[in-house]
Every structure is written in structure tokens, then in C-alpha cells.
Structure 1
Amino acid sequence: MNLTKNTAIAGNVPVVIVASAFGVESIRRDGHAMWAEVAARAGAAGFEVRRELFADDTQSQPDSLRELGDTIRAAGIWPVYSTPATLFDDHGALDETAMTQTLAEADALGARIVKFQLGGSATTGTATAADTLERLIAGIADSKAKVVVENGQLKAGGTIDAFAALFEALKPRTHALSMTFDTGNWRWADQDPMEAARRLSSYVTYVHCKAVQGEGARRFATAPAIGDTSFATLLKHLPRDVPRGIEFPFDPAHLADDAARYVKQIASTDQ
């Protein structure tokens, strides 16, 4: 599967705009389709549909997802499907129901990438027993989308060790499951992003880009500043040929302009 087929700007990595960048209320009010077209006009290669931003349950039904996927592709870009569902439950066991449902929804959308949260327990982590991993591999084997897990903002599913343990246990079949590396979420989980990049970069096939301001509960996502050397250095330690998603909020008064500006900035950082 070629995740870099449609590049936003020739010679640079493809950029995906995450729906939430346009604002939660904008997406819930107008629907994903309208803003996917804005993303396409901004030069994005892909658009990330967020399940938690559906206005009602009808939008997650197969017919609605197929229609949305067709609209996104008609705009000349490809869809990514994101769910807040976790691969592992609070006890570290594989959540096969959530996995199966999400993969079916991603298939209906025609997603190129489908993104889960890792989940698991902050104390016991994720299950790495051979039989559990066999069921995981079997469960995602027929997915038409690339299956990835993202580091979240909680200790459960947000630690470097949890991802390292999972991918180590999956060897030599790590190609079956890969990682969305969120550059900012590590801060919420009190993890060092640079250490995460050094230990996990070989498993990364999608990057969520954002900077973080504030401390503790007052942290918030923001756009990486032009010339932000720490952000650029972090990207240098990650694969340079994988899609980069914009997951920070645009200015509500300049949504379309911000989208175009940040697509160019994120595509060219460290290139």
C-alpha cells in the first residue's frame, strides 16, 4: 500500500488535515464532507475523518460512510479514519468487538489509514501474550486500510514502554501493525518525545503534528512555530516519507487561509 501516492506539494511529504483542526463545532454543524473539500483546496493530500465528531449515529452507518468517502475522493484526496476506540481494554485484553466494528467502518469509508488508540492499563500495559497477538494479527489481516495505533494523552496507551513492548512482541510481524506518532501527546503522558522517536521511529507510518503550550492540566495544542528547532529536530528522527497530519486548531476567523498556510509549512519542515 503506497501511503505517499498523492503528495500535497511535489517533492514533499503528503499532508493530511485532521477534521478537528477546523473546530469541533464546525465539523458537527457542517459535516465532514464540506471541510474535506476545504482541505483539498488547501493542498492537502488527505483528510482525517474523526468518528467522535459525527453529529449522530447515522453518520457512522455504512451507506453514510461510503457517501462521505466518495465525496472525499471526488475532491482529489484520500480519507483517513480515526476512532477513539482502543485496541486493548482497561485490563490489557484485546477489544475484538471495537476492532471489528472500526475496521468495518473504515472499509465502508474506503480509508487509506485507520487509526486506533492503543489503550491498555497504566499499570499492566497491553497484552503481549502470543495467543492475544495472533488474534490481533488475524483480526486486522483483511483490512484494506493500513492499521495504526496512536500514543494518547493518558498513561494508559501513552507511554513509550507500552509501544516498545507491543512492537517487540510482534516481531517479525511488525509490518501488520504500525504507529501514529503524535508529536505533542507525549507531553500529556509525561514522556520525552525525543526518546520516543529514538526508540519507536522504525514502527512509525503516520505522524500527527502539533506543538504544546502550557503545563499540567492547562496544556493545549498549538501550531509549531516557523523555525521551531525542537519540532524540526524531532521530525528528523522520524521517517521522512510518511504522511504528516495537522492536528492543531486553525484560527476560526481564517480557517481556509490557515489550512493552506500550514499544509505548506508542515510539508516542508525538515525537507
Structure 2
Amino acid sequence: MTDAVDVVIVASAFGMDAVRTDGHLKWAAASKQAGAAAFEVRRELFANEADAAPQALSALGKAITELGLWSVYSTPAALYTSDGQLDTGALLLALDEATAFGARFVKLQLGGFASQAHGAEIAGYLRGANVRLVVENGQLAEGGSLAQFIGLFDALAREGHAGSFGMTFDIGNWAWRDVAPLDAAGPLAAHVEYIHCKTAVGEGARRFPAAPAAGDTQFAAVLDKLPRHVPRGIEFPFDANRIDADAAHYVAWLAAA
């Protein structure tokens, strides 16, 4: 029997409209009830911009901590602009919000990374920050290519800032880029600090996130290739007719998978 790992429930698993209507705290409580160790707040699911104000973030973060959960703060902002420059404004805003919230991780999209990682600049902004930065492979060509992520971590090492931040490896998102997740897991595993767990069903524009099947050997092989100790986030939708049971089932399954 392998040791269980921390399972995070991503807010969107409960349905985007439900989170916008009821607020994150309700679904954080449902995550605790399901046995999760942590909860991922999604900035794009706030009902209005006032929810991202420092006082509101602090209050939400404290309430989630009081439930006995740690947290991830996710923003759809990208670390690099389309022309490959560091988006300093996006990074600093995300760090400020995640710090007010009290997150363990702050998650951004990669964006338009080209060849220069700006490692010294990023390391300077992160110095003293009580939150760990991770960038996620997205579904779009910009910020979702395997070559970009390999290039990013090569550039950080070349600039002398290897390990200054890490990666959220989204297993399902590689499907949107026609990359086998197992092919990505090998070269990127050393940099993975958080895993988004889902598969994809359908084709092209009609592709949707889904729960991995119990007998999905490819999904199991990807998990085996990635670090065992890093937290695993549930990012596929729960069945709206049995949300609580679904959440508890998948938390227990993923913790031991």
C-alpha cells in the first residue's frame, strides 16, 4: 500500500455557475466533507471584482483555513506576454492576491514564453514571498506546448535560477495540444509540484474535461511517471446529481492511486 497524497478539489469541479452563485466557501466546506486536504480557488469564478479585494481574500482564506484545508490561488493571468516578455504586472498582482488570501501555491498560465525566462527578475519578486509560484500547461497553443515548457526550465537553469518556481502539470490539457501526457511527463517530471487530474473526451473544439476511468492505464502510467509526493487536484466535473458522493469517491481514489 503506497502512502496517500494530498488531494485538492478545484472549485470548478462543482460547476462554474454554482461557484459564482454560491461563493467559494460553500464548496470549500463540501471539499472538506469529501475528505480533501486542500481547495483551489479560481479567480475567474469570483462573482465580482470586489471578491478579489485584499480584505475579502483574507477573510475567505481564513475561513478556508478554519475548515482545516490549505489552499491554491489560481488566476487565468499569464506569466509571459505574447511577445515573450515577463508580465511583471500580472505576476505582482497574483502574488499580492495570493498572499492576502494565504495560499500555499499561486498558479498562473505560462503564456508566450519564448527563450528568455527572466529568472533573476522573477526570483527577486518571489524572495520573501510566503507562496510558491507554479505555471500550468494550458489548452491554447500559446502556453500549452511541450517545447515551451522544456525551453522554460532549460532557460531557468541556464540563467542560474533553476528551481525558482515550478509547474502545475495538467494531465488532460495536453490533449488539446495533441500531446500524449506520458510523453510530456518524462522531460517535465522533475519540475512538477502540483498535478491537475483529468482526462479529455471528444475531439477538436468539442473536447471536454472528464474523470479518468477506473481502468485507464494511460492515466495511471502518467501518475507513476510524475512525483508521488506532490498534491493532486481534481479538475473534472462531478455528477451534479450526486456531487457529495462523487467528490468523496474521487478524493479517496486519487489519494491512493
Normalising by structure 2, we get a TM-score of: 0.96
Which amino acid is 2:95 matched to? L
Task: Give the 5 Å matches for 1:88-99.
Answer: 88-99=80-91
C-alpha displacement of 1:195: 1.2
For 1:246 and 1:209, the matched residues in 2 are separated by 5
**C-alpha distance in 2 between matches for 1:108 and 1:77:** 16
Equivalent residues of 1:184, 1:211 under 8 A apart: yes
2: CA distance between counterparts of 1:246 and 1:106? Answer: 20
Higher mean displacement: 188-197 or 231-240:
188-197
Moved more, 219-228 or 163-172: 163-172
CA distance in structure 1 between the partners assigned to 2:193 and 2:114 by the alignment:
20
Q: Show the counterpart of 2:163.
A: 175
Matched, 1:56 2:42: no
How big is the shift at 1:242? 0.2
Corresponding position of 1:201: 189
Residue 164 (str. 1) matches residue 156 (str. 2): no
Does 1:215 pair with 2:203? yes
SS at match of 1:253: coil
| Preserved CA contact (<8 Å) 2:42 2:73 | yes
Which residue of 1 is the match for residue 255 of structure 2? 267
Amino acid at match of 1:140: L
CA distance in 2, matches of 1:268, 1:97: 39
1:256 has 2:248 as partner = no
Who is 1:5 aligned against?
none
In 2, Cα distance between equivalents of 1:135 and 1:242: 26
In structure 2, what residue type is equivalent to 1:188?
A: W
Give structure 1 regions of 4+ aligned residues with deviation exceeding 4 angstroms. none
**Unaligned runs of at least 5 residues, structure 2:** none
Provide the rounded CA distance (Å) in 2 between the counterparts of 1:136 and 1:70. Answer: 27
Give the TM-score of the pair, scaled to structure 1.
0.91
Does 1:128 pair with 2:116? yes
* Counterpart for residue 75 of structure 1: 67
Determine the C-alpha separation between the residues in 2 that align with 1:192 and 1:56: 37
2:15 corresponds in structure 1 to 23
Deviation larger for 168-177 or 222-231? 168-177
8 A Cα contact 2:109 2:135, kept in partner = yes
Identity %: 50
- Greater shift, 189-198 or 144-153, is seen at 189-198
Q: Give the corresponding residue for 1:230.
A: 218
1:142-189 deviations in Å (ceiling 9; x for gaps): 321111000000111101110111111111532211000000101101
> RMSD of aligned C-alpha atoms?
1.2
1:138 aligns with 2:130: no
Q: Which runs of 5+ in 1 are unaligned?
A: 1-9
State the partner residue of 1:3: none
Partners of 2:119 and 2:161 within 8 A in 1: no
2:29 pairs with 1:46: no
Q: Which amino acid aligns with 1:76?
A: G
How many Å separate the matches in 2 of 1:51 and 1:61? 11
Counterpart amino acid of residue 101 in structure 1: L
2:29 corresponds, among 37, 48, 56, to 37
The total of aligned residue pairs comes to 254
- Is 1:153 paired with 2:139? yes
Shift of 1:251: 0.8
Q: Which residue of 2 aligns with 1:102?
A: 94
Q: 1:232-267 CA distances to partner (integer Å, 9 max, x unpaired)?
A: 011111000000000000011111111101101111
